[in-house]
């Protein structure tokens, strides 16, 4: 009987258990109102450098880019994953878990419609070191896409 009461109290206090649904980056930017304020885990391409820190997917570039906010107190495993990233600027494929925020403007010069506040980062794969011309960056992304599926797509045909 005590176990039943404790279980009921747990569900009432925690609002039940809501497992995280499998979503893509494009799901987020196509339906921002659905995911605003929610914890998400997505695979995306991350381009960073001086005054930019953006997540995007080649399949839905027209829907917007997401500012990636990386807190200084990121967990050790995530910090180790990010050590693979080139210093200063680069392009990575990665999986990020964090809170998705929409309904405002974010990032440098408020140039982004969305942001994710990262809690965990994993599956870091370097696509490009430093900055290059847009054409060179696109070629690097296309090559990387051809080499491996996204870390959370389980072999599905999906670019990010």
Q: What is the pLDDT of residues 18-35, one digit of tens each?
A: 445 579 999 999 999 999
Q: Which residues pair with 92 in a beta bridge?
A: 46, 126
> Does residue 122 belong to any structural domain of this protein?
yes
Is residue 65, in this structure, part of any structural domain at all? yes
Domain assignment present for 102:
yes
pLDDT surpassing 80 at residue 87: yes
The average confidence (pLDDT) of the chain is 80
97: tokens are: 């878990």
Paired with 66 in beta bridges are 55, 114
Are the beta carbons of 114 and 29 closer than 8 angstroms?
A: yes
Domain limits at 52?
A: 22-147
Domain-embedded: residue 141: yes
Residue 157 lies in a domain: no
Whether 34 maps to a domain, the answer reads yes
Mean pLDDT (whole number) for 120-125: 96
In a domain, 73, yes or no: yes
Is residue 136's pLDDT more than 90?
no
Task: Measure the CA–CA gap between 36 and 30, rounded to whole angstroms.
Answer: 12
């Amino acid at each position: 009987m005590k176990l039943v009461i404790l279980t009921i109290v747990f569900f009432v206090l925690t609002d039940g258990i809501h497992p995280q649904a499998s979503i893509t980056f494009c799901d987020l930017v196509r339906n921002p109102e659905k995911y605003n304020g929610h914890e998400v885990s997505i695979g995306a391409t991350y381009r960073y450098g001086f005054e930019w820190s953006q997540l995007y997917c080649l399949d839905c570039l027209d829907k917007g880019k997401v500012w990636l906010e990386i807190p200084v107190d990121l967990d050790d495993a995530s910090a180790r994953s990010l050590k693979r990233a080139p210093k200063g600027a680069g392009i990575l494929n990665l999986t990020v878990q964090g809170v998705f925020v929409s309904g405002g403007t974010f990032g440098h010069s408020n140039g982004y419609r969305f942001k994710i506040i990262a809690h965990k980062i994993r599956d870091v794969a370097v696509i490009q070191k430093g900055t290059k011309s847009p054409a060179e960056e696109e070629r690097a992304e296309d090559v990387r896409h051809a080499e491996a599926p996204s870390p959370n797509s389980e072999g599905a045909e999906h670019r990010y």
